[in-house]
Amino acid sequence: MISTELNSSYLVSSEEDELWGLSVTTVGQQKISENESYPPTNHPNGYFFNVDKGRILNEYQLLYITNGNGVFTYGSAKQSCLITEGKMFFLMPGVWHSYKPIENTGWNEYWIGFKGDIIEKIVEKGFFINRAPVFSIGLNERIVDLYIKAIEIANEERAGYQQALSGIVMHILGLMFYRDKTRDFEDENLIIKINKAKVIMRESIYKVITAEDIAKQLNLGYSGFRRAFKELTGNSPSQYMLELKLNEAKLQLTTTTLSVKEISFNLNFENPDYFPIFFKKRTGMTPGEYRSSK
């Protein structure tokens, strides 16, 4: 017997919810059986679509496939991507798209729809444009748990539930971005060495040490070390060390009476006069202003 397992909610948001900056419109999960028509007949009218004609939404959606295979087509050029388990696609408002499971496999899908100023600003900053909207994140129990928790909260629909759901959306979005960025980084030995490098940097925050020195300690060539470090962390080794020094400077400014020059000297900034410039560039305040604000 062909059947669809469906658990979904279609939500409303108040003016207060929208002031929060992110509100959830829909969340759910369904299992499509082999050779079942898609979308199934119990799909709500507001989201039902003909896979041949496709559709355009007025919201964002994150769809996560945990079993089965399918095809996702999008954009005015109607580009197609093969969807396999462990992939997530990010639907954007105003963009034509269509998707469906391959008939002889079916699939399991989780989705959450949302809108608001917060996601608009993130997209405007360029994080999700100029690339295919399909993210290879693998099968991840934490992400499945987040969808399930969102479904539970939506079904209860208690006061403040939209704010709780908005946090889950941001968590899923962040994990999707993170796991897609690091999906090709599979050299376990190199990962161990990069993690070791981060420990060395943290423990050497008051010492004079360069990224080249650390690469040498780890028996790695500097260019390969720098490339791998940035791929895994998102920062070059030198940038990462500067951020560690910045965090320590903040701590020193708020917990000691050391002068700005003393802090700069202790943290071994090559040019003490550069420290206030760097600090203001990263925090928007001079070291003195930061100290006074705390």
Supply the pLDDT for residue 232: 81
Domain-ending residue, one of 146, 181, 216:
181
Predicted TM-score (pTM) above 0.85: no
Confidence of residue 253 (pLDDT cuts 50, 70, 90): very high
Strand partners, 10: 26
- Tens digit of pLDDT for each residue in 283-294? 999 999 999 887
What mean pLDDT is reported for the chain? 88
- Tens digit of pLDDT for each residue in 136-182? 888 888 899 999 999 999 988 888 999 999 999 999 999 999 888 77
Are 13 and 137 part of one and the same domain?
yes
Query: Is the per-residue pLDDT at 189 higher than 70?
Result: yes
Are 81 and 38 part of one and the same domain?
yes
Are 248 and 148 part of one and the same domain?
no
Are 27 and 119 part of one and the same domain?
yes
Are 45 and 172 part of one and the same domain?
yes
Are 194 and 177 part of one and the same domain?
no
Give the domain CATH number at 92.
2.60.120.280
Query: Is the per-residue pLDDT at 7 higher than 70?
Result: no
Angle at 84 between CA 78 and CA 86, to 5 degrees: 120
Query: Is the per-residue pLDDT at 209 higher than 80?
Result: yes
Supply the pLDDT for residue 146: 95
Supply the pLDDT for residue 66: 92
Considering all CA atoms of the chain, what is the largest pairwise distance in Å, rounded to the nearest integer?
A: 76
Residues 72 and 97 sit within 8 Å (Cβ to Cβ) = yes
Supply the pLDDT for residue 71: 94
Give the domain CATH number at 249.
1.10.10.60
Query: Is the per-residue pLDDT at 58 higher than 50?
Result: yes
Are 214 and 276 part of one and the same domain?
yes
Domain that holds residue 148: 4-181
Supply the pLDDT for residue 2: 40
When mean pLDDT is compared across 30-44, 69-83, 88-102, the lowest value belongs to 30-44
Are 106 and 227 part of one and the same domain?
no
Are 270 and 131 part of one and the same domain?
no
Supply the pLDDT for residue 3: 40
- Tens digit of pLDDT for each residue in 71-96? 999 999 999 999 999 999 999 999 99
Are 23 and 120 part of one and the same domain?
yes
What total of structural domains would you count in the chain? 2
Are 60 and 16 part of one and the same domain?
yes
Domain-ending residue, one of 153, 181, 209:
181
Confidence of residue 44 (pLDDT cuts 50, 70, 90): low
Q: Measured between alpha carbons, how far is 161 from 24 in angstroms, rounded to an integer?
A: 10
Q: Measured between alpha carbons, how far is 64 from 112 in angstroms, rounded to an integer?
A: 9
Are 223 and 111 part of one and the same domain?
no
